[in-house]
Structure 1
Amino acid sequence: MTMEIGSKAPDFTLQDTEGEEVTLSDFEEKVNVVVLFFPLAFSNTCTNELCTARDNMKLYNSLDAKIIGISVDSFFCLREFKKSENLNFTLLSDFNKQVSTKYNALYDDYYGMKGVSKRASFVVDKQGTIRFQEILDDSSELPNFKAIQKTLSDLS
């Protein structure tokens, strides 16, 4: 599936760190959503990325945005990652790789591991429309947080 800016974001339901289901479309008409796919919990760049989001939560709140992090790690692993880094936003497990696949954010081979999420970011507005997307092939790069924030600012 090819996604373009202005297209409807593929809906999904995944388990959070407590095993509860979270559905993207439940946020429509309520809040903008920043979806951050990341390869693996506890890796250096992923920790840096998610801690950057954590440290800017007041800004995201002021822009009426919710952050959701997604990886193929189990929700048990993500629970420990969230706790160890004191992350103040939702982490979801795409253990079966369905959502990463829908969003074209999945490596076929990542250092010998099959089916790991790419580092990718999407801004989904209150109508469920994609307003920003960035899919990085180089997992050592961080998302363009400035562009994400500008997109959110433009939606306000």
Structure 2
Amino acid sequence: MTKNVEREPNETVPDFRLPGTEGDEIREYQLSSYTDKGAVVLVFYPFDFSPVCTEVLCNFRDAEFLTFTENVDVFGVSLDSCYAHQRFIEEYDLPFPLLSDTRGRITDQYGLAYDEWEHHEGVPKRALLTIDESRSVRYKWVTEDAYESPGMDALHQTVLSLEEVDS
């Protein structure tokens, strides 16, 4: 198993490619394709359809500051397959892609995997990372408690600061 490496704010994260879906087709997503155009918010979460994960992703769906912010893309990342993601997106009308890190490589590389959580090894911790155009971490929130939901205020402030830089 890959050793977890914590990514700190202002640290540059590696590029990655993962399969994902926005609900219809399955395709490959590459981080740098989006950071080249602006910022990315990565929402790591344990499982599609779990109660807290559903609530957190629906909060992102409903966050108007993300909807009306140009050049900021949101991606959910879990170990679930794209087929589970398609159903999850359809059921909850999620307007952003969900990426499948089925082997946990990115979760491990970003230092965000539980050793074990509810008898599942390598499940992503609940975490948010905002990554800017240079692939530097501008905001990071991570919890050891998968039942804890992130607050949106600090993320909102980070997104506003990215908009100011772009202006």
- Structure 2-normalised TM-score? 0.88
Please identify which structure carries the higher strand content. Answer: 1
Secondary structure (helix, strand or coil) at the match of 1:152 reads helix
Measured after TM superposition, the shift of residue 94 of structure 1 is: 0.5
1:2 counterpart residue number: 6
For structure 2, the 5+ residue unaligned runs are: none
Secondary structure (helix, strand or coil) at the match of 1:106 reads coil
2:139 counterpart residue number: 132
Alignment of 1:12 with 2:19, yes or no, is: no
Measured after TM superposition, the shift of residue 142 of structure 1 is: 1.0
Secondary structure (helix, strand or coil) at the match of 2:114 reads strand
Instruction: State the distance in 2 between where 1:147 and 1:94 align.
Output: 26
Instruction: State the distance in 2 between where 1:141 and 1:37 align.
Output: 13
Aligned-residue CA RMSD (Å) = 1.2
Instruction: State the distance in 2 between where 1:104 and 1:8 align.
Output: 13
2:37 counterpart residue number: 30
Judging changes above 3 Å, is the alpha-carbon distance between structure 1 residues 16 and 52 closer, same or farther for their aligned structure 2 residues? same
* 2:35 and 2:131 in contact (8 A); partners too: no
What is the letter of the counterpart of residue 31 of structure 1?
G
Measured after TM superposition, the shift of residue 4 of structure 1 is: 1.8
1:60 counterpart residue number: 66
* Runs (4+) off by over 6 Å: none
What is the letter of the counterpart of residue 97 of structure 1?
G
Aligned 1:72-83 pairs, distance under 5 A: 72-83=79-90
Measured after TM superposition, the shift of residue 113 of structure 1 is: 1.2
* 2:113 and 2:123 in contact (8 A); partners too: yes
What is the letter of the counterpart of residue 115 of structure 1?
G
What is the letter of the counterpart of residue 60 of structure 1?
L
Paired residues in the alignment total 155
For structure 1, the 5+ residue unaligned runs are: none
Match of 1:107 among 107, 114, 135: 114
- Structure 1-normalised TM-score? 0.94
